[in-house]
Amino acid sequence: MPKVSKIEVFRVSLPLVRVFETSSHRKAYLEHILVRVEDGDGAVGWGEIASPSDPYYCPETVEDCLLMVDRYLAPALLSADWAHPADVGAAWARIRGHEFAKAGVEMACWDLWCRATDLPLARALGGTRPEIEAGVSLGIERTVDDLLAQVDRYAAEGYRRIKLKIAPGWDVEPVRAVRTARPGLPLHVDANGAYTEGQSAVFTELDDFGLTMIEQPYAPGALAAHARLQARIATPLCLDESVEDLDRLDTAITLEAGRILNIKVSRMGGLAPARAAHDRAVAAGWQVWCGGMHEFGIGRAANVAIASLPGFTLPSDVSGSDKYYERDVVEPPIRAADGLVPVPPGPGLGHEVDEDLVRRLASAVMAW
Ligand code: OSB
Ligand code: MG
**pLDDT at res. 246:** 97
What residues form DSSP beta bridges with 35?
9, 47
Q: How far apart are CA 52 and CA 295, in angstroms?
A: 10
**pLDDT at res. 235:** 98
195: left (phi over 0), alpha (psi -120 to 50) or beta: beta
Which ligand number lies closest to the CA of residue 52?
1
- Of residues 305 and 22, the one with the higher pLDDT is 305
Going by alpha carbons, the residue nearest to atom 7 of ligand 1 is: 293
| pTM (predicted TM-score) | 0.97
Q: How far is the CA of 334 from the centre of ligand 2 (A)?
A: 21
Residue 110 and residue 56 share a domain: yes
pLDDT tens for 75-104 read: 999 999 999 999 999 999 999 999 999 999
Instruction: Please indicate whether residue 264 is annotated as part of the active site.
Output: yes
Question: What is the total count of domains within the chain?
Answer: 2
Parallel/antiparallel/unpaired status of strands 364-367 and 4-21: antiparallel
Q: Is 258's pLDDT higher than 70?
A: yes
Residue 213's pLDDT band (cuts 50, 70, 90): very high
Q: How far apart are CA 179 and CA 186, in angstroms?
A: 9
Find all residues with CB under 8 Å of 25, minimum gap 6, and list them. Answer: 52, 54, 56, 57
**pLDDT at res. 25:** 85
**pLDDT at res. 2:** 66
Q: How far is the CA of 317 from the centre of ligand 2 (A)?
A: 9
CATH value at residue 10: 3.30.390.10
**pLDDT at res. 350:** 98
Residue 156 and residue 266 share a domain: yes
Cβ-contact 231, 256 below 8 angstroms: yes
114: left (phi over 0), alpha (psi -120 to 50) or beta: alpha
Return the ligand 1 atom nearest residue 136 CA. 15
Backbone angles phi, psi at 29, to 5 degrees: -150, 165
Residue 340 and residue 241 share a domain: yes
pLDDT tens for 33-50 read: 999 999 999 999 999 999
Residue 150 and residue 217 share a domain: yes
Residue 321 and residue 172 share a domain: yes
What residues form DSSP beta bridges with 55?
none
Closest CA to 105 of 45, 190, 57: 45
CATH value at residue 330: 3.20.20.120
Residue 157 and residue 93 share a domain: no
Q: Which domain holds residue 300?
A: 123-352
Give the residues surrounding ligand 1 with Cβ less than 6 Å away. 52, 57, 137, 190, 192, 240, 291-294, 317, 319
Is the C-alpha dihedral spanning 354, 357, 361, 367 positive or negative?
positive
**pLDDT at res. 193:** 97
